[in-house]
Amino acid sequence: MAVDWKADLRPYQHLMAELTATDPQKAAEADDINYTICERTPEAYARGLKHYPRGGSVNIGVNYTHAYFEGVVAMCQGDLEKAGKAFNVARGEIAATVERDPGFAPAISFLGMIDAGLGRKQEALNEGHRACELLPPSKDAIDGAVLAVNLAQIYVWTGDKDLAIAQLAAVERFPTYLSYGLLKLQPIWDPLRGDPRFEQIVASLAPKE
């Protein structure tokens, strides 16, 4: 996908416009909220939430609920009150999962991201660290790397920019969903933009001519 490799949203936007006009069901199936967030428009945010499954979507064994992405979108739009309400809803489900299985690293990591969005800094950091201790990339290069990226997001949302950049630098050598395009375009990483260390990481992932 051109979004990932080239940070180019145009082919994706063209595809979504065409499918929306000709086959709304296929448009819903093809849409990816991680890409719609990159578009940064109210219309794209609304479309992404409309198409995201109401029951959530499972990633590395964890259900990423609709409420979580409602919170993410609200944060991207600067509506912290709305984000807090959504994250509180999302927290209820994942906290119950962690209570049932306190050693399940992906759930602990997801709880940490939600707590970071809620401003529960110390809890978020503890959960993010605990998840990475339970399942580091050295133990599982795929799922462990996802949790390492989640910790970077936790650092961003808790205002720990230096730690976020160091975490991204440490994890970039592992295969993760965090492509050049997502790192360059997603609003989640905006607090790091302009820092030469972050820009160097982004540049290192850019396609080579």
β-strand partners of 62: 59
Report long-range pairs for 15-21 (Cβ below 8 Å, ≥24 apart): 16/47, 20/47
Q: What φ, ψ does residue 57 adopt, rounded to 5°?
A: -140, 135
Each residue's pLDDT tens digit, 58-81: 999 999 999 999 999 999 999 999
Q: At what angle do helices 42-51 and 66-76 cross, to 10 degrees?
A: 170
Residue whose C-alpha is closest to residue 137's, from 175, 90, 165:
175
Identity at 194, one-letter amino acid code: G
Average pLDDT over residues 110-128: 98
Average pLDDT over residues 82-107: 97
Terminal CA-CA length for the chain: 17
β-strand partners of 169: none
CB 62 within 8 A of CB 97: yes
* pLDDT of res. 172: 80
Annotated domain spans of the chain? 55-173
Cβ neighbours around 42 below 10 Å, total: 10
Residues ≥6 apart with Cβ < 8 Å to 23: none
Each residue's pLDDT tens digit, 142-176: 999 999 999 999 999 999 999 999 999 998 877 77
| Residue 209: pLDDT over 70 | no
* pLDDT of res. 114: 98
Q: From CA 32, how far away is CA 15, in angstroms rounded?
A: 12
Q: Which fold has domain 55-173?
A: 1.25.40
Sign of the four-CA dihedral 60, 61, 66, 72: negative
Residues of the chain with pLDDT > 90, as a percent, come to 90
- Token reading at 177: 């969903």
Q: Give the H/E segment covering residue 64.
A: strand 62-64
